Structure 1
Amino acid sequence: MSSKATPITGTTVPTASRATEPPRTWTGKIRMIGPGIVLAMASVGAGDMVTTLSSSSQFGLGLIWVFVVGLILKFGLTEAIARLQLTGSRTFLSHLTDLGGRFLPAVFLGIVLLVGFFYGSGLTAITTLTMQALIPGLPYWPTFVVIVASAVLLIGIGRYGIVESSMLGFGILMFFGMIWIAIASATVDGAPQAAAETIAPALPAGSFITVLSLIGGVGGAVGIIAYAYWIREKGWNGPQWKSVVRIDTISSYIFIGIFAVAMTVVGTFLLYTTKTSIGGSDAIIPLADSLVPLAGDIGRITYLLCLIAIVYSSILGGFSAIGYLIADGVRVLRRIDDSEADRSMAPSSLPYRLTLVYVLICSLAASTLGEPVALVIVYATVSAFVLPILSIALLLLLNRRTIPTTLRNGWRSNSILGACLALFGFLAIVQVFESFGVTLQ
């Protein structure tokens, strides 16, 4: 495996869409926002909705600060891995070989294969149920197959630009829809009182580990790693792109933050005021009916459309991320040179398309045959260590003297990555205990 930075020779999207020099104006830089939107839409899913709605149903607006802290930490990880990508043509998994050969790339490949096994079934089921709520009488299994197959086909076309454009469309719908729903929910009886009671930041007694878990639950680990591959597809390479990448990542986490706040507001006004709790992912669909007295059928339809946009875009983003990471993992383990990276892991490459077949089959199998309990425990335990390992890797890789000064870690980055290591490392240990049936308070 070559450790030297070589020019990017392959193209996975038309050359005309890959920028060679960054714009100099703020307007031009803002217009280039794209991978950050893909990251945001891939990171926000049904699980995040359940988390924010559940926490706000118990504590109202008092835990908004928790999500803010979580977003700052995840931003630090994303910005750091982006700077690592800007150092040259090497991919993240290629850089990991500097820390112990092919062991860490093999570990990440195994984890991503586990993610791929579980990822699609639950999200596709929620999308299908939401479609049925929107269009009564829609058959479940044909709809399920069409949804997961359409995601695989859209990504399998082989052009990152199509995925980005789709995510932008879903993002616009989600952004304005959720803000409107949050405003509509503010008209519920008791909303002003609930806001006044819970607006102050709170740390409820006996909820320390729960709060830490909420901090760690904002945004997905696989999406953070895949962000380096998405900016690579845009042709952003070199220290001169740092400002563009930073604007792009900031926009991503502002977007996620607005979503988290909007969902917290909805949960506070619709659930906290009525002392209603929320369970699993299925419970977020009937919430649409609560909007009818407030905003009519248009409110219900808007909510369901937003939910479809949120969950389906998570399928798209997740499958895209899994495809890059598995294809690149195979390349690194086969010791294919970095100069061949773009060709070897392009969405049109054989490893990438075999990965899409893999996630399609796994989504269908997990939904029909169920998820093996032992494999679920292994997945939950092993995947909990992704972010601690990522934090350590970025601390080691980005403090080397071989890294250009403008891309090297500063004290702020090291502080955030250190905090990530401490938090996510602790949560990984908690997950290990819980996997063996030991609950920590």
Structure 2
Amino acid sequence: MSSGTTPITGAEVPTKSRVSEPPRTWAGKIRMIGPGIVLAMASVGAGDMVTTLNSSSQFGLGLIWVFVVGLILKYGLTEAIARLQLTGSRTFLSHLTDLGGRFLPAVFLGIVLLVGFFYGSGLTAITTLTMQALIPGLPYWPTFVVIVASAVVLIGIGRYNIVESSMLVFGVLMFFGMIWIAVASAKVDGASQAAVETIAPTLPAGSFITVLSLIGGVGGAVGIIAYAYWIREKGWNGPQWKPVVRIDTISSYIFIGVFAVAMTVVGTFLLHTTKTSIGGSDAIIPLADSLVPLAGDIGRLAYLLCLIAIVYSSILGGFSAIGYLISDAVRVLRRIDDSEADRSMAPSSLPYRLTLVYVLICSLVASTLGEPVALVIVYATVSAFVLPILSIALLFLLNRRTVPTTLRNGWRSNTILGACLALFGFLAIVQVLESFGVTL
């Protein structure tokens, strides 16, 4: 059967399951957590740090509720796309052919190619600058090349387990490091007063669009889609894996939530109290020096190591996601059968490795020649429609009678996906208007 016609059933056998049956105990299910941590680390980057720090520099702790709402919505999308993957052997892009043939997979291919062009350069630059702050005297360009090339090689080895294990190490470093830094920042003068004054949830006048953008900015769109491919790599297939997937996705967004709250605390105590803000992604590096009076040189070291873990893991997760999506899009457009999907989009496959070469070259080109303004505008406009399209697709695909009852959408999932469609659809319209110079 072609990729567009394979039926959904609940009994299809995964082609490369490492564990034939899910664990029955809570402890066993928790030990299975992995793809969710990959998603969390891929979703959190330097841009998220800047956004969170700047919002807290203006509003203190009052916008924590915004991140909570955003995490609930993104969890709903992630859990839904995971259930779709559990319905059988078809991939997400293969399912999209049910909504209009190969048009949507072609659209996603174009979008992900644009993502691949821009993705690596900025993150690698931040990682390089952080390494220079950590080890003075490091040359910029050789360090830049080593960082981006090491990410490509690590993923190109062809084993998902290596990526997941690396992410778990970075995740532990980030989790405990950011909590410790948040606690250390509470020693700044005026911290208690700032916390008391801003702790109440707020919606500042004239900030409606800003707040909606903050809600939509929690977690990455490409990572959410790639999550289906990461659980496929684990061999999780069938309704019996639903409890494990839910624990995994919940852990992912708890992880992101801890990061968001910790960064909000840091922004409130270090920036809000001094009425300062951060100008760009590279400005988060000097923030390490602000921790020296509060936690000594160990505080500065901890911050820089956390920053490296956050940004480098974003490179790893992003490159992994881009590799799966591009190679699978090529497979679907070439009408290669779903039974060949695992082989066609494996990290060791030719399309995947060519994708890694593509992101490596683009990272170097974009960093040396700069990012074309017209292409940036096209990318921002087109990519804004990813989450609305994803919401519509999941509403349609997971409400069909062919979906096993335990994996079909319930009213809660439909409500969350409907809210996602409304929010992200509105933000997409705002992005289009802004691309044409119209500001709401």
What range is the shorter-chain TM-score in?
A: over 0.9
**1:165-199: CA deviation from partner (whole Å, max 9, x where unpaired):** 00000000000000000000011110000000000
Contact 1:9-1:342 within 8 A present in 2 as well: no
**For 1:10 and 1:410, how far apart are their aligned partners in 2?**
17
- Segments of 5+ residues of structure 2 without an aligned counterpart are none
Q: Please state if 1:358 is matched with 2:362.
A: no
| TM-score, reference length from structure 1 | 0.97
Deviation of the 1:317 alpha carbon: 0.1
**For 1:16 and 1:89, how far apart are their aligned partners in 2?**
11
Contact 2:3-2:337 within 8 A present in 1 as well: no
For the residue of structure 2 that corresponds to 1:24, the secondary structure is coil
**For 2:13 and 2:254, how far apart are their aligned partners in 1?**
28
Tell me what 1:80 maps to.
Answer: 80
Contact 1:10-1:340 within 8 A present in 2 as well: no
**For 1:24 and 1:9, how far apart are their aligned partners in 2?**
23
CA 318–10 in structure 1, closer or farther in 2 if over 3 Å, else same: farther
For the residue of structure 1 that corresponds to 2:274, the secondary structure is coil
CA RMSD of aligned residues (A): 2.4
CA 344–399 in structure 1, closer or farther in 2 if over 3 Å, else same: same
Tell me what 1:263 maps to.
Answer: 263
Contact 2:111-2:383 within 8 A present in 1 as well: yes
For the residue of structure 2 that corresponds to 1:374, the secondary structure is helix
**For 1:53 and 1:346, how far apart are their aligned partners in 2?**
38
Contact 1:12-1:233 within 8 A present in 2 as well: no
Contact 2:14-2:236 within 8 A present in 1 as well: no
Identity of aligned residues (%): 93
Tell me what 1:230 maps to.
Answer: 230
Deviation of the 1:277 alpha carbon: 1.2
Deviation of the 1:18 alpha carbon: 1.4
When structure 1 is superposed on structure 2, of 400-409 and 17-26 the one drifting more is 17-26
**1:239-294: CA deviation from partner (whole Å, max 9, x where unpaired):** 00000000000000000000000000000000001111111101100000000000
Deviation of the 1:338 alpha carbon: 0.3
**1:33-85: CA deviation from partner (whole Å, max 9, x where unpaired):** 00000000000000100010000000000000000000000000000000000
CA 3–110 in structure 1, closer or farther in 2 if over 3 Å, else same: closer
Mapping 1:69-148, distance limit 5 Å: 69-148=69-148
Contact 2:223-2:318 within 8 A present in 1 as well: yes
**For 2:29 and 2:48, how far apart are their aligned partners in 1?**
29
Contact 1:84-1:92 within 8 A present in 2 as well: yes
CA 15–174 in structure 1, closer or farther in 2 if over 3 Å, else same: farther
**For 1:283 and 1:11, how far apart are their aligned partners in 2?**
52
**For 1:290 and 1:250, how far apart are their aligned partners in 2?**
33
- Segments of 5+ residues of structure 1 without an aligned counterpart are none
CA 13–292 in structure 1, closer or farther in 2 if over 3 Å, else same: farther
CA 327–162 in structure 1, closer or farther in 2 if over 3 Å, else same: same
Contact 1:44-1:310 within 8 A present in 2 as well: yes
For the residue of structure 2 that corresponds to 1:273, the secondary structure is helix
**For 2:48 and 2:29, how far apart are their aligned partners in 1?**
29
**For 1:188 and 1:61, how far apart are their aligned partners in 2?**
15
Deviation of the 1:14 alpha carbon: 14
Mapping 1:283-362, distance limit 5 Å: 283-362=283-362
CA 164–340 in structure 1, closer or farther in 2 if over 3 Å, else same: same
**For 2:243 and 2:421, how far apart are their aligned partners in 1?**
25
**1:335-387: CA deviation from partner (whole Å, max 9, x where unpaired):** 00000000000000000000000000000000001111110000000000000
For the residue of structure 1 that corresponds to 2:271, the secondary structure is helix
When structure 1 is superposed on structure 2, of 14-23 and 120-129 the one drifting more is 14-23
CA 17–237 in structure 1, closer or farther in 2 if over 3 Å, else same: closer
CA 323–8 in structure 1, closer or farther in 2 if over 3 Å, else same: farther
Give aligned pairs, total: 440
For the residue of structure 2 that corresponds to 1:90, the secondary structure is coil
CA 70–10 in structure 1, closer or farther in 2 if over 3 Å, else same: closer
Contact 1:7-1:339 within 8 A present in 2 as well: no
For the residue of structure 2 that corresponds to 1:276, the secondary structure is coil
Contact 1:44-1:256 within 8 A present in 2 as well: yes
When structure 1 is superposed on structure 2, of 298-307 and 4-13 the one drifting more is 4-13
CA 141–4 in structure 1, closer or farther in 2 if over 3 Å, else same: closer
Deviation of the 1:2 alpha carbon: 3.1
CA 9–73 in structure 1, closer or farther in 2 if over 3 Å, else same: closer
Deviation of the 1:19 alpha carbon: 1.2
